[in-house]
Amino acid sequence: MLRQITGEVSLFAVGGGSYLGLFKNARLTLAAATQEASPASRIGKKAQPVTKGSTLTFSVMSNKSGSSTAARVTVKDVTSFAIGGTDLRGHVQEGTLSGRFGTKEGAGWADVWDYPNVTDKDFEFDGSMMIPIAGGGGLVLIDKMLDPATLDDLAATFALTVDGIAIQIPMTVDRVELGLQDKDLQLVSTHLMGASPDTGAYPTLPTATGTVLEKVLVTPYNPLAFQLQSRATYGKSFEGEIVPTSVAMRFRRGELVMIDYSFVAVGAVAPIAA
């Protein structure tokens, strides 16, 4: 028997833009929360549905700006990468910039579906850097941690520009490790945590909200519309509104830049209206 395959997905759109030609994987989950409803007089348990909710996760590539051949964005398209003003683009091996978005439930008694509201956001970076023979590279991050006189120099602006989109986030260097492995390069691994200012934008950049990435970073509390059609005929269609719970940009030399998104539905998910 022939089966439906992923290559037959006919529609996948988020925030007004199509991901049909860019997504690598996706998962839509529809779930009911249950409460245990059996009486004490029974040994068997009874699951009773009390609410409905949905999540959407997917990983996507990006096309280079102005590309007529649909060339994908790679780490070669990262035109700047700096921590605390030090350019580390020539020394970094890999890194992941992550955003996490906290939600609180906004549904009332009469609502069947969950209505999560984004109430906070935070960012972090994990990366590993090589060390030049003459010093520098990842060692500058160790110098920040070794300063005996102050904690202030652990504050560091994280700055990254990839394919023309500039990201700038105030952060704190909270961990640095020197890794020494048999017959390998010395590596400095670091972890940075977000440090939101008391006033002003967070992150500092971007400020535009044209792409889904920008919308997630700048205004995660604004729901985005999504549509998904598993197959043009004999498939299933879905549409609704979603807010982010996490985003992660993954960078590794010689590879495509990948973005992993996790969203939760705001209200009902339904078949696409005819």
What pLDDT does 135 receive?
82
Helix H or strand E segment including 238: strand 237-252
Hunting for tokens 């994280």 — which residue is that? 158
Q: Which residues of the chain have pLDDT under 50?
A: none
Closest listed residue to residue 211, CA positions, set 24, 23, 14: 14
Q: Domain residue spans in the chain? A: 27-34+50-225+244-265
Closest listed residue to residue 186, CA positions, set 130, 126, 143, 137: 130
What pLDDT does 226 receive?
98
Hunting for tokens 């409460």 — which residue is that? 35
**Which residues neighbour 66 within 8 Å (Cβ) at sequence distance 6 or greater?**
none
- For the chain, where are the E strands, in sequence order? 11-14, 17-18, 23-36, 47-60, 78-83, 86-87, 92-105, 116-130, 155-162, 165-179, 187-194, 224-229, 237-252, 258-265
pLDDT tens, residue by residue, 240-261: 999 999 999 999 999 999 999 9
What pLDDT does 140 receive?
84
- What gap in Å lies between CA 129 and CA 132, rounded to an integer? 10
What pLDDT does 14 receive?
97
Buried b (16+ CB within 10 A) or exposed e, 181-216: eeeeeebbbbebebbbeeeeebbbbbeeeeebbbbb
CA 248 vs. chain centroid, Å, equals: 3
pLDDT tens, residue by residue, 181-191: 999 999 999 99
What pLDDT does 68 receive?
67
Residue 11 burial (CB count, 10 A): 18
Q: Which two tokens stand for residue 253?
A: 């030399």
**Which residues neighbour 145 within 8 Å (Cβ) at sequence distance 6 or greater?**
154, 173, 176
Q: What is the largest CA-CA distance in the chain?
A: 76
Q: Which two tokens stand for residue 257?
A: 């830049």
Residue 93: beta bridge partners?
Answer: none
What pLDDT does 137 receive?
83
Q: What is the pTM of this model?
A: 0.94
Query: According to the CATH classification, is domain 27-34+50-225+244-265 in 2.30.300?
Result: yes
- What gap in Å lies between CA 261 and CA 144, rounded to an integer? 32
